[in-house]
Amino acid sequence: MTNCENLVQSCMIVIALIGQIVAATSTGNVLMTNIPSLDSVTVKRETKYDGEYDPWINYYCELYCMDPELVKIIIEKESQFNPQAVSRSGAMGLMQLMPETAEILGVRDPYDPGQNIEGGVRFLRNLFDMFGGDLELTLAAYHAGPGVVSRINRVPSIPETMAYVDYVVSRYGGAPKKDLYFTLTEKGTPLLTNRPK
């Protein structure tokens, strides 16, 4: 590399870092992001899972060829392993099935752990097949709905969905590493991302 190329590369890194917010996570790691914390999002303390739902998770993951570890991460994120959980949008149970999705999947009681896990894992498998095995698109579709992800063929620029995908992928070891891209947002803020525009 020439001195000019080194200078340009250094400037790009500095510009990218200026637009980033540095924060310490609850585990003591340093997080650099361009997404400010949302006041409306409450941080839940980590749940200690005792394995109570493992028989159902393992059975349905084997039946639908899904990884039980991925499903556990999704359940932890979705409901903190609370089978009675209900979201502001009306999603229900361990895997937070929307009423319409539960009905389509034939889940009669979304608060029943076995039915909820079976429906959630089957839905996840359908999405995985729909998006050609792309984990990020599958997770985005699970969170934001398959319609929007199918239309744009990428993770939508919805802060909650992007945070959801990042949360699950960062905790799941089965996800392939992706390249980093430097870009500018619509407002001109530098952004380092693993999602090409």
- DSSP H helix total and E strand total for the chain: 8, 4
Query: Is 62 one of the annotated active-site residues of the chain?
Result: no
Q: Would you say 156 and 197 are in contact if contact means Cβ atoms under 8 Å apart?
A: no
| Bridge partners of residue 70, in order along the sequence | none
**Selected catalytic residue, list 76, 78, 118, 136:** 78
**Torsional class of 92: left (φ above 0), alpha (ψ -120 to 50), beta (otherwise):** beta
Three-state secondary structure call for residue 22 = strand
Q: Name the DSSP class of 195.
A: S
Catalytic residues: 78
